[in-house]
Amino acid sequence: MKIGKSSGMAKVVVLVLLVSLSARRLESAFDPRDVLPLLPRQVSWSILNRLHSAVDLLPVFVGAASSSDDNLQWKAACFYQNKAWMLFHNNSHTPYGGGTLHLKVSNAHSWSCMDLYIFATPYRVTWDYYLLAREHTLEIKAWEGKAEYEYVKNHGLSIFLLQAGMLGTLQALWEIFPLFTNTGWGENSNIDFLEKHMGASFKVRPQPWVTSVSADDIHSGDFLAVSKIRGRWGAFETLEKWVSGAYAGHTAVCLRDSDGKLWVGESGHENEKGEEIVALIPWEEWWDFELNKDDSNPHIALLPLHPDLRARFNETAAWEYALSMAGKPYGYHNMIFSWIDTLNGNYPPPLDANVVACVMTIWSQIQPEYAANMWNEALNKRLGTEGLDLPEVLVEVEKRGSSFDELLTIPEQDDWVYSDGKSTSCVSFILEMYKEAGLFDPFASSVQVTEFTIKDAYVLNFFENNASRLPKWCNDGDTVKLPYCQIKGKYLMELPGYNTMQPYPRMNEKCPSLPPKYFRPQNC
């Protein structure tokens, strides 16, 4: 056997492990999974791929440590017995002092594993890992003023476990990284993720995978469902589909002007500056881009309106609304709130409101302007306040005797105006247009379409239900005849529940959406 650099590195790793073993009590057996990286890469990754997934990147909330509660205990990925408590002190001689988190770990499942943790308050985020079975400490020299001191004193310091451990987290990163790559590898990774976590199926259609569309058969109000499966947008759509249950990740709508010219209205169109805006684009330009320039491999279906709805569709009102929104930013303010409707029925495990708060805290520290755009204004709207940052929002919620998870479930209101105007995601832009055009009557005043996900839109019974009335070119050559027109894509675009839901007052405001079945109770 030749001894090379890789063998030398393996010796170093083994030496480190031996040192750690000598310091750890012999309390459990060696687990070969913990040293899989010492194996050849093609062997180790193939094993890890069966043990962990990209979902394992999500931290799990295990509890909040405070001085009044030293009974916080949990089982972790490596150490099966853990407890934590907080002791306050004033070693820094500051007005509110600091604190020491004590975390005692024991009963490891092997001699060679470790646990990774994230520790957070609304004002700070830090992390640490534990390899030795003993009592560890995390020192916080000084609290960020009275607000953080009071928050930790009353609610504790939040502890999140990276449940896959060190190697599982590395492997999960390996699984999620290709989702964002604009390659065949990335496309297959997105498909595998959706098959694994949603139960989606990707059936190959007969070629050609592009339909010879006649624009003359497309009418105002016809809905375009788009599913991107590679590159940056493909990855974001994959994660959006997983949490919401939608089998499409983007939408657009067709409009004819008074001269009969066909346009596409789209929230999320990228302009010359790289900004995502609401735009009105000539059909020929939009279709040419999707055919020849969009490298995300978009799959597109045209969902024609039902003739009765088409007769009710007020084109004048629709155009007035579309023109009033043209050029405004994409609806980042309310993007996540259309998905969260319940306290615990919308979070795919291990997600929960604590994890959402942790992620928001991290982003607020890394990119405060991004955080303000994504959720701070929307949270203030729900509180009836202005200008509060995330820590101040959390403190205000507690003052009112509520909780952050309850705050997230407050329905978005269509008439809320943000600092950059009304905010609409791709689908809420279309449904607000439908609302203005009269399609939600007589329930329009009691329906908040900014609460709708893409799935909530395509399950509305607004669309054609008679296959004989679909255009002649619709599904031409397909062996599976869909009830709508797939006009682009290698794989069959299935939309479970399509065209089945009658509108009702306060629609989609309190509905669960848990994978893989995404079951909705009768009143949803």
pTM above 0.95, yes or no: no
8 Å CB contact between 352 and 404: no
Using CA atoms, how far apart are residues 190 and 239, in angstroms rounded to an integer? 9
Bridge partners of residue 254, in order along the sequence: 264
Query: Strands 223-227 and 299-303, how do they pair?
Result: antiparallel
What is the structure's pLDDT at 57? 55
Residue matched to tokens 């949270």: 379
Q: For 498-522, how does the pLDDT look when each residue is reduced to its tens digit (9 = 90+)?
A: 999 999 999 999 999 998 889 888 8
Residue 216, token pair as written in the block: 């003359």
Cα-to-chain-centroid distance, residue 169: 18
Q: For 333-384, how does the pLDDT look when each residue is reduced to its tens digit (9 = 90+)?
A: 888 888 899 998 998 877 888 888 877 877 776 667 777 778 899 999 999 9
Using CA atoms, how far apart are residues 93 and 440, in angstroms rounded to an integer? 62
Confidence of residue 170 (pLDDT cuts 50, 70, 90): low
What is the structure's pLDDT at 98? 95
8 Å CB contact between 253 and 287: no
Using CA atoms, how far apart are residues 127 and 138, in angstroms rounded to an integer? 9
Instruction: Indicate whether 4 pLDDT > 60.
Output: no
What is the structure's pLDDT at 169? 53
Instruction: Indicate whether 48 pLDDT > 70.
Output: no
Q: For 456-484, how does the pLDDT look when each residue is reduced to its tens digit (9 = 90+)?
A: 999 999 999 999 999 999 988 889 999 99
Selection from 45, 12, 17 nearest residue 110 by Cα: 17
Q: Between 56 and 156, where is the model more confident?
A: 156
**Among 29-43, 68-82, 386-400, which range has the highest average pLDDT?**
386-400
Q: Is 300 helix (H, G, I), strand (E, B) or coil?
A: strand
Q: For 379-428, how does the pLDDT look when each residue is reduced to its tens digit (9 = 90+)?
A: 999 999 999 988 889 889 988 999 999 999 999 999 999 999 999 999 99
Q: Between 242 and 26, where is the model more confident?
A: 242
Stretch among 3-7, 121-125, 212-216, 428-432 having the lowest mean pLDDT: 3-7
Binning the chain into helix, strand and coil, the percentages to the nearest 5 are 40, 20, 40
What is the structure's pLDDT at 312? 96
Residue 31 amino acid letter = D
Average pLDDT, the chain: 85
What is the structure's pLDDT at 166? 54
Q: For 198-209, how does the pLDDT look when each residue is reduced to its tens digit (9 = 90+)?
A: 999 999 999 999
Q: For 229-282, how does the pLDDT look when each residue is reduced to its tens digit (9 = 90+)?
A: 999 888 889 989 999 999 999 999 999 999 999 999 999 998 888 889 999 999
Burial (CB count <10 Å: 0-12, 13-18, 19+), residue 314: middle
Selection from 52, 414, 455, 466 nearest residue 243 by Cα: 455
Using CA atoms, how far apart are residues 459 and 223, in angstroms rounded to an integer? 12
Selection from 160, 233, 137 nearest residue 426 by Cα: 233
What is the structure's pLDDT at 34? 46
Residue 194, token pair as written in the block: 């959706």
Using CA atoms, how far apart are residues 59 and 61, in angstroms rounded to an integer? 7
- CA distance readout (Å), 329 to 421, 428, 453: 8, 13, 18
Residue 144, token pair as written in the block: 């960020």
What is the structure's pLDDT at 178? 76
Residue matched to tokens 């790793």: 13
What is the structure's pLDDT at 101? 94
Angle at 248 between CA 243 and CA 250, to 5 degrees: 100
Selection from 244, 230, 225, 233 nearest residue 192 by Cα: 230
Instruction: Indicate whether 24 pLDDT > 80.
Output: no
What is the structure's pLDDT at 384? 96
SS (H, E, C) 323-360: HHHCCCECCHHHCCCCCCCCCCCCCCCCCCHHHHHHHH
